[in-house]
Amino acid sequence: MNLARYTAELVERLTMGNRSEGFADLFVVLLRELSKGAPVSPAGLALALDWPVRRVTAALEQAVSTEWDDGGNVVGYGLTLRETPHTFEVGGRRLYTWCAFDTLLFPALIDRPAHVVSRCAATGVPVSLRVTPSVIQDIAPAAAAVSLILPQDTPDIRHAFCCHVHFFASAATGQQWAATHPGIEVVSVHDAFAVGRERAERLLRATCLRNAGSADRA
Protein backbone atom coordinates (compact mmCIF):
# COMPACT_ATOMS: atom_id res chain seq x y z
CA MET A 1 0.00 0.00 0.00
CA ASN A 2 1.18 3.52 -0.81
CA LEU A 3 0.62 5.01 2.65
CA ALA A 4 1.06 8.63 1.54
CA ARG A 5 -1.57 8.30 -1.18
CA TYR A 6 -3.91 6.34 1.11
CA THR A 7 -3.51 8.95 3.84
CA ALA A 8 -4.34 11.77 1.44
CA GLU A 9 -7.43 9.95 0.17
CA LEU A 10 -8.62 8.98 3.65
CA VAL A 11 -8.17 12.47 5.06
CA GLU A 12 -10.01 13.95 2.09
CA ARG A 13 -12.96 11.58 2.50
CA LEU A 14 -13.17 12.13 6.24
CA THR A 15 -13.02 15.87 5.76
CA MET A 16 -15.82 15.78 3.20
CA GLY A 17 -18.02 13.61 5.43
CA ASN A 18 -19.96 16.62 6.66
CA ARG A 19 -20.04 19.65 4.39
CA SER A 20 -22.24 21.97 6.45
CA GLU A 21 -20.65 25.39 6.82
CA GLY A 22 -18.69 25.77 10.05
CA PHE A 23 -18.91 22.10 11.00
CA ALA A 24 -15.16 21.95 11.76
CA ASP A 25 -15.63 24.70 14.35
CA LEU A 26 -18.62 22.92 15.87
CA PHE A 27 -16.85 19.56 15.95
CA VAL A 28 -13.73 20.85 17.70
CA VAL A 29 -15.71 22.84 20.29
CA LEU A 30 -18.04 19.88 20.90
CA LEU A 31 -15.10 17.53 21.49
CA ARG A 32 -13.53 19.95 23.95
CA GLU A 33 -16.81 20.31 25.84
CA LEU A 34 -17.47 16.55 25.90
CA SER A 35 -13.91 15.97 27.19
CA LYS A 36 -15.04 17.69 30.41
CA GLY A 37 -17.12 14.57 31.08
CA ALA A 38 -20.69 15.89 31.03
CA PRO A 39 -23.52 16.20 28.47
CA VAL A 40 -23.34 19.32 26.31
CA SER A 41 -26.41 21.45 25.62
CA PRO A 42 -27.00 23.06 22.22
CA ALA A 43 -27.34 26.37 24.06
CA GLY A 44 -23.90 25.92 25.61
CA LEU A 45 -22.40 25.12 22.21
CA ALA A 46 -24.12 28.13 20.70
CA LEU A 47 -22.62 30.36 23.38
CA ALA A 48 -19.12 28.93 22.86
CA LEU A 49 -19.38 29.34 19.08
CA ASP A 50 -21.29 32.62 19.08
CA TRP A 51 -23.92 30.99 16.86
CA PRO A 52 -27.72 31.02 17.07
CA VAL A 53 -29.00 27.92 18.87
CA ARG A 54 -31.05 26.92 15.81
CA ARG A 55 -27.87 26.79 13.72
CA VAL A 56 -26.18 24.51 16.23
CA THR A 57 -29.23 22.23 16.41
CA ALA A 58 -29.53 22.03 12.62
CA ALA A 59 -25.85 21.11 12.24
CA LEU A 60 -26.07 18.41 14.91
CA GLU A 61 -29.19 16.94 13.32
CA GLN A 62 -27.39 16.73 9.96
CA ALA A 63 -24.65 14.74 11.69
CA VAL A 64 -26.87 11.69 11.84
CA SER A 65 -24.74 9.73 14.33
CA THR A 66 -24.99 12.36 17.07
CA GLU A 67 -25.89 10.78 20.44
CA TRP A 68 -28.47 12.59 22.57
CA ASP A 69 -29.75 12.13 26.10
CA ASP A 70 -33.40 12.43 27.12
CA GLY A 71 -32.92 16.09 27.98
CA GLY A 72 -31.85 17.06 24.46
CA ASN A 73 -28.15 17.32 25.31
CA VAL A 74 -25.33 15.83 23.24
CA VAL A 75 -23.54 12.93 24.91
CA GLY A 76 -21.49 11.75 21.98
CA TYR A 77 -20.12 12.46 18.55
CA GLY A 78 -16.89 10.56 18.02
CA LEU A 79 -16.06 11.17 21.68
CA THR A 80 -18.84 9.82 23.86
CA LEU A 81 -19.97 9.42 27.44
CA ARG A 82 -21.49 6.04 26.54
CA GLU A 83 -19.37 2.94 26.92
CA THR A 84 -17.65 1.49 23.85
CA PRO A 85 -14.67 -0.88 23.53
CA HIS A 86 -12.31 2.14 23.37
CA THR A 87 -11.69 3.82 26.74
CA PHE A 88 -10.27 7.34 26.50
CA GLU A 89 -9.17 8.78 29.84
CA VAL A 90 -8.55 12.54 29.96
CA GLY A 91 -7.65 14.37 33.16
CA GLY A 92 -8.86 11.43 35.26
CA ARG A 93 -12.23 11.30 33.45
CA ARG A 94 -13.22 8.06 31.76
CA LEU A 95 -14.68 8.72 28.33
CA TYR A 96 -14.99 6.58 25.23
CA THR A 97 -14.59 6.86 21.48
CA TRP A 98 -16.40 5.32 18.56
CA CYS A 99 -13.31 3.72 17.06
CA ALA A 100 -9.55 3.16 17.38
CA PHE A 101 -8.73 6.01 15.01
CA ASP A 102 -10.61 8.51 17.19
CA THR A 103 -8.28 7.74 20.12
CA LEU A 104 -5.32 8.78 17.95
CA LEU A 105 -7.00 11.87 16.48
CA PHE A 106 -8.74 13.54 19.40
CA PRO A 107 -5.78 14.49 21.66
CA ALA A 108 -4.60 16.95 19.01
CA LEU A 109 -8.11 18.41 18.65
CA ILE A 110 -8.74 18.85 22.38
CA ASP A 111 -5.08 19.69 23.09
CA ARG A 112 -4.93 17.20 25.94
CA PRO A 113 -3.11 13.87 26.43
CA ALA A 114 -5.17 10.72 26.85
CA HIS A 115 -4.62 7.23 28.19
CA VAL A 116 -6.22 4.73 25.83
CA VAL A 117 -7.29 1.18 26.69
CA SER A 118 -8.97 -1.03 24.11
CA ARG A 119 -8.76 -4.63 22.94
CA CYS A 120 -7.80 -6.58 19.86
CA ALA A 121 -10.94 -7.03 17.76
CA ALA A 122 -9.83 -10.54 16.76
CA THR A 123 -8.39 -12.01 19.97
CA GLY A 124 -9.58 -9.80 22.81
CA VAL A 125 -6.00 -9.13 23.91
CA PRO A 126 -5.81 -5.75 25.74
CA VAL A 127 -4.23 -2.87 23.83
CA SER A 128 -3.09 0.25 25.65
CA LEU A 129 -1.16 3.41 24.85
CA ARG A 130 -0.71 7.03 25.83
CA VAL A 131 -1.55 9.58 23.16
CA THR A 132 -0.51 13.22 23.35
CA PRO A 133 -1.27 15.94 20.79
CA SER A 134 2.10 15.27 19.15
CA VAL A 135 3.34 11.75 20.01
CA ILE A 136 2.23 8.30 21.08
CA GLN A 137 3.93 6.43 23.90
CA ASP A 138 3.87 3.16 25.83
CA ILE A 139 2.12 1.07 23.17
CA ALA A 140 1.33 -2.42 24.42
CA PRO A 141 1.61 -4.77 22.65
CA ALA A 142 4.43 -2.95 20.84
CA ALA A 143 3.36 -4.47 17.51
CA ALA A 144 -0.27 -3.31 17.79
CA ALA A 145 -2.02 -2.28 14.58
CA VAL A 146 -5.16 -0.49 13.42
CA SER A 147 -7.66 -1.26 10.66
CA LEU A 148 -8.71 1.58 8.36
CA ILE A 149 -11.23 1.91 5.55
CA LEU A 150 -11.97 4.57 2.95
CA PRO A 151 -15.50 5.71 3.91
CA GLN A 152 -18.24 6.32 1.38
CA ASP A 153 -19.64 9.81 0.88
CA THR A 154 -22.21 9.86 3.67
CA PRO A 155 -22.95 11.97 6.77
CA ASP A 156 -23.23 8.74 8.79
CA ILE A 157 -19.52 8.55 9.56
CA ARG A 158 -20.03 6.06 12.39
CA HIS A 159 -21.53 3.47 10.07
CA ALA A 160 -19.29 4.22 7.09
CA PHE A 161 -15.99 4.38 8.97
CA CYS A 162 -15.94 3.89 12.72
CA CYS A 163 -17.62 0.48 12.78
CA HIS A 164 -14.69 -0.93 10.74
CA VAL A 165 -11.78 0.69 12.59
CA HIS A 166 -10.31 -1.40 15.40
CA PHE A 167 -7.12 -2.13 17.28
CA PHE A 168 -5.32 -5.45 16.77
CA ALA A 169 -2.56 -7.07 18.80
CA SER A 170 -0.37 -7.24 15.70
CA ALA A 171 -0.46 -6.47 11.99
CA ALA A 172 -0.55 -10.19 11.20
CA THR A 173 -3.63 -10.66 13.39
CA GLY A 174 -5.28 -7.65 11.80
CA GLN A 175 -4.52 -8.81 8.28
CA GLN A 176 -5.99 -12.23 8.99
CA TRP A 177 -9.18 -10.53 10.20
CA ALA A 178 -9.18 -8.14 7.24
CA ALA A 179 -9.03 -11.01 4.78
CA THR A 180 -12.76 -11.52 5.34
CA HIS A 181 -13.60 -7.80 5.45
CA PRO A 182 -13.31 -6.23 1.98
CA GLY A 183 -11.84 -2.74 1.70
CA ILE A 184 -9.94 -2.86 4.99
CA GLU A 185 -6.28 -1.84 5.27
CA VAL A 186 -4.22 -2.69 8.36
CA VAL A 187 -1.43 -0.30 9.40
CA SER A 188 0.80 0.16 12.43
CA VAL A 189 -0.43 2.34 15.29
CA HIS A 190 2.31 4.84 14.40
CA ASP A 191 1.10 5.06 10.79
CA ALA A 192 -2.53 5.42 11.89
CA PHE A 193 -1.43 8.19 14.28
CA ALA A 194 0.28 9.98 11.37
CA VAL A 195 -3.00 9.85 9.42
CA GLY A 196 -4.81 11.22 12.46
CA ARG A 197 -2.34 14.05 12.84
CA GLU A 198 -2.85 15.11 9.24
CA ARG A 199 -6.62 15.00 9.68
CA ALA A 200 -6.37 17.02 12.91
CA GLU A 201 -4.09 19.61 11.33
CA ARG A 202 -6.51 20.09 8.46
CA LEU A 203 -9.46 20.51 10.81
CA LEU A 204 -7.62 22.94 13.08
CA ARG A 205 -6.30 24.89 10.11
CA ALA A 206 -9.82 25.23 8.72
CA THR A 207 -11.04 26.43 12.11
CA CYS A 208 -8.23 28.96 12.49
CA LEU A 209 -8.67 30.31 8.96
CA ARG A 210 -12.41 30.70 9.43
CA ASN A 211 -11.98 32.44 12.76
CA ALA A 212 -9.30 34.70 11.32
CA GLY A 213 -11.64 35.63 8.47
CA SER A 214 -14.41 36.46 10.93
CA ALA A 215 -12.04 38.67 12.92
CA ASP A 216 -10.94 40.48 9.76
CA ARG A 217 -14.54 41.18 8.78
CA ALA A 218 -15.27 42.49 12.26
The catalytic residues are 99, 102, 162
The sign of the CA dihedral 23, 29, 31, 34 is: negative
Cα(128)–Cα(196) distance, rounded to whole angstroms?
17
Could you count the other beta carbons within 10 Å of the beta carbon of residue 63? 21
Between CA 203 and CA 44 the distance in angstroms is 21
Beta strand segments in 53-183, E:
67-68, 74-77, 79-80, 86-90, 93-97, 114-119, 126-131, 136-140, 145-149, 167-168
Q: Is the dihedral of CA 78, 82, 88, 91 positive or negative?
A: positive
Is-contact 109 77, C-beta < 8 A?
Answer: no
**Backbone φ and ψ of 43, nearest 5°:** -65, -40
Give the span between the Cα atoms of 164 and 149, in whole angstroms.
7
Beta carbons of 161 and 14 less than 8 angstroms apart: yes
Neighbours of 178 (CB within 10 A): 22
